[in-house]
Structures are given as C-alpha cells and as structure tokens.
Amino acid sequence: MAYRNFPGEPWTIGWGHTGDVHQGDTCTPDQADKWFLEDTAKVVAAVDRDTPQDITQNQFDALVSFGYNLGISAEEHSTLLRDVISKNIPGAADEFLKWNHVNGQVVDGLTRRRRSERALFLCA
C-alpha cells in the first residue's frame, strides 16, 4: 500500500519507489522487487557517471544508498558530491550527517541511516 512517511513527501510504495505512485496504490512483492532493481540501476548509473573512477567500492555503495534515498538530483547538486570529486573525503563523509531533516526537523531514522552511510563511506 502506498505510504508517506511525512506530510508533503511523495507517495512511496514497495521498497522506496516513488515514480507515478498515488494514494491507495498497491503492489506485489515481485513488482516491488522489479521497481527496486530499476530505481537502483538509475542511481548506480548516475553515481558511476558523476564520481571519479578511483573511489572505493564502499564509497560508491554509500553514495548509491544516499542517492536512492534522497534522489539523484539532490545528490548531483550536493556539497557531498563536490567534496568527493575534489577528493575531500573527510569533508564528504561529514556531509552525509547533514541530510537527516524533514521539514526542518531532525528524524532519528534518517540520522541512523546517514551515520551508517558515513561509516560505510569511510570503511577501507
């Protein structure tokens, strides 16, 4: 069943799919898996296109998780990505932690997610 975690956010269904989703929509587990693979492939392609080829697999994976959750456009225009491109790895890692707000309020779940992404990004 389609859901919104917070007022004003897009309708979401399955494992985080937001494209053309409306209140009341439902999906099967197979459809959720299909959308997840399609949506993830788009984020993987964007991260691959937008980041230096010498980043580590863990850095790449953390950026994919971040981009999947926030959207490619947010990542493409982020200081985090600019720091990755300029090889400011400590600065990029700290940028993850700034993306834990919804409507100006800190969200515990996003804080946990961003800490996990940061830890993965810094893992050798």
**pLDDT, tens digit, 9 for 90 and up, residues 80-119:** 999 999 999 999 999 999 999 998 999 999 999 999 999 9
pLDDT of residue 3: 94
Domain boundaries, given as residue ranges, for the chain: 41-122
How does pLDDT run across 57-66, given as a tens digit for each residue? Answer: 999 999 999 9
pTM of the model: 0.92
Residues 9-32, mean pLDDT to the nearest whole number: 95
- Residue where the block lists tokens 């225009």: 77
To which residue do tokens 């998780």 refer? Answer: 65
Q: How much is the pLDDT for 32?
A: 97
Structural fold of domain 41-122: Lysozyme (1.10.530)
Region 36-45 average pLDDT? 97
Contact 83, 92 (CB under 8 A): yes
Question: How far apart are alpha carbons 40 and 36 in whole angstroms?
Answer: 6
